[in-house]
Structure 1
């Protein structure tokens, strides 16, 4: 069977090609891709080529299919999986397989599976890892957007707070606390706002910054202060582009108290430094945006780490539970990615 796909051959070398898929194995599944959403991680992969951690070194000879946020329907199920899946099932995929400790992932590492394709062969390790996930909601795009939403959910779950005198970590953002999202009026920031407002663990105050007024206005049009207020959240959008002292500006929204959780949505040194300086005691700084610069760094106040229990976390993608949560929330209409 033929497929048409975008394959990567090297740095900034993407080619749209038609080619034959190999015969289907008993432990494989043939599928049709209906929706594939575009991610900045795919741009990073295209820019780095074989230098990317998930992309094989021989793509010049054995190109892989890009695109890791996708959904569709199953066309043919190998005998090994016929008790679990059937032709016509709608699906989404968690690309972070973590198969036997490998970083290999659909959309980066495989020759015959990726979102930028018409038809794909889902290899056995995807099912073995429980990463072929059913979707029962309307349409297909919410299922493809479950992957970026799972990254957001994973980041929210990875943050933590502590109790004096205890070494146990209380996972997640602080319920009823102050949450700041810096440079967060872009696509992933909008998803994070959606989740912060509609998840079970909500902040009392959510401050969203950006330096692009057009993006902020779009965010305001999607998430109204009234809707947020009805959910128990004070929602504030602010443009820090022309602000001389963004640290003081942001602290003023909390009457100088600071933020229990701060998310960084752009790999900018000044943003990281600002986020660190606005943390409350036991505040958690979440560096969400992955840089392409392997030497990227920013100053952190280690005095506050030692005496005020501030801390730094970061995640790169979600896990199966995060994907299932994203699919559940999308299916029931709680979030609208």
Structure 2
């Protein structure tokens, strides 16, 4: 049986504006109704707002954005362990769980992934920047009411960082480089520290980003444009055991082969560059392993637990908080990288 509730949803349109529109939310009895409390603005949300697209995903109709959000359960299916009033982080991933990749436990690569707040498919998949959302029970990860919602709202980007750490293997005692100290790069720094890395260097051309990387646990931060330190990283075949590329900048991507020791690993997270001049020969003779890292699998629940128990403190990255009525100002603030790292909306 379907139920209907009247909600007010923050909607982004193909004309690149955001407005409040009463919408009827229809959902089945086997779904969970969640009252949204907090949502973090991601880079893809900003791209949809500014350009009407995020990568190859182009808006063809109004869409509710947002995939980093938490809330409280208002209604749950009969017999579910989920309880009314329970605090939950919402995993925005909705893989098909039937294809070959899903059966191989590679759900993050599912070609039929219905990721919340994404225009990849048509009709688009609405996100969580609304008063209420209806989700599947398995998307709800309960957390202690003693934890702050603004902290747990970092679960999705932290899950991306933890997946990258898992792609790299054991970091215990390793020397780590992170290029690009935006929110994801800074969370990789924190996750690497929590995973036992002995030394973590972060690079970014922004002084503000370098300061945040230090606050998140970097041993050293470097401006790659003005420093002479990078030359030392190439001595004796390379300095770092593991390099995480989180900027997507062609120059950063090409530089990592020289900085990585023989038999080391490079994990590519940063998007943006489509064509890069890459020192393939050096990669081969040093037998460096180059691995992509995309979204996350079961790392979402791990991220919730790390945030819940204080293993990672993301709050240095929280630059601003806005009420729902100021969502346009929030998006514009989040889009100014000179002002903000992570911006959250309060519902």
**TM tier relative to shorter chain:** 0.7 to 0.9
Give the 3 Å change call, closer, same or farther, for CA 224–133 of structure 1 in structure 2: closer
Q: Summarize the alignment of residues 68-217 of structure 1 with structure 2, pairs less than 5 Å apart.
A: 68-79=67-78, 82-99=79-96, 100=98, 101=110, 102-108=112-118, 113-122=126-135, 126-127=136-137, 130-136=138-144, 137-159=146-168, 172-184=169-181, 186-199=182-195, 202-217=196-211
What displacement does 1:147 show?
A: 0.5
Q: In the alignment, is residue 302 of structure 1 matched against residue 283 of structure 2?
A: no
Q: What is the distance in 2 between the residues matched to 1:142 and 1:49?
A: 29
Task: Choose from 227, 232, 246 the match for 1:265.
Answer: 246
What displacement does 1:322 show?
A: 0.6
The answer on whether the counterparts of 2:186 and 2:212 sit within 8 Å (CA) in structure 1 is no
Q: CA RMSD of the aligned region, Å?
A: 2.6
What displacement does 1:111 show?
A: 6.9
Q: What is the distance in 1 between the residues matched to 2:262 and 2:142?
A: 42
Match of 1:275 in 2: 256
Question: Where does the alignment leave 5 or more consecutive residues of structure 1 unmatched?
Answer: 160-171, 226-234
The answer on whether the counterparts of 1:176 and 1:203 sit within 8 Å (CA) in structure 2 is yes
Partner-residue secondary structure (3-state), 2:45: helix
Q: In the alignment, is residue 15 of structure 1 matched against residue 18 of structure 2?
A: yes
Match of 1:164 in 2: none
Partner-residue secondary structure (3-state), 2:305: helix
List per-residue Cα deviations over 1:101-120 (Å, max 9, x = no partner): 41211222577852211112
What displacement does 1:44 show?
A: 3.1
Match of 2:101 in 1: none
Match of 2:222 in 1: 238
Q: What is the distance in 2 between the residues matched to 1:204 and 1:112?
A: 41
Give the 3 Å change call, closer, same or farther, for CA 51–215 of structure 1 in structure 2: closer
Q: What is the distance in 2 between the residues matched to 1:92 and 1:84?
A: 15
Question: Where does the alignment leave 5 or more consecutive residues of structure 2 unmatched?
Answer: 99-109, 315-347
Give the 3 Å change call, closer, same or farther, for CA 40–50 of structure 1 in structure 2: closer
Give the 3 Å change call, closer, same or farther, for CA 45–286 of structure 1 in structure 2: farther
Match of 1:167 in 2: none
Give the 3 Å change call, closer, same or farther, for CA 27–45 of structure 1 in structure 2: same
What displacement does 1:72 show?
A: 0.3
The answer on whether the counterparts of 1:212 and 1:239 sit within 8 Å (CA) in structure 2 is yes
Partner-residue secondary structure (3-state), 2:10: strand
- Higher mean alpha-carbon deviation, 101-110 vs 31-40, is at 101-110
Partner-residue secondary structure (3-state), 1:104: coil
The answer on whether the counterparts of 1:112 and 1:120 sit within 8 Å (CA) in structure 2 is no
List per-residue Cα deviations over 1:112-131 (Å, max 9, x = no partner): 85221111222xxx33xx32
The total of aligned residue pairs comes to 293
The answer on whether the counterparts of 1:285 and 1:312 sit within 8 Å (CA) in structure 2 is yes
The answer on whether the counterparts of 2:237 and 2:260 sit within 8 Å (CA) in structure 1 is no
What displacement does 1:246 show?
A: 6.1
What displacement does 1:335 show?
A: 0.9
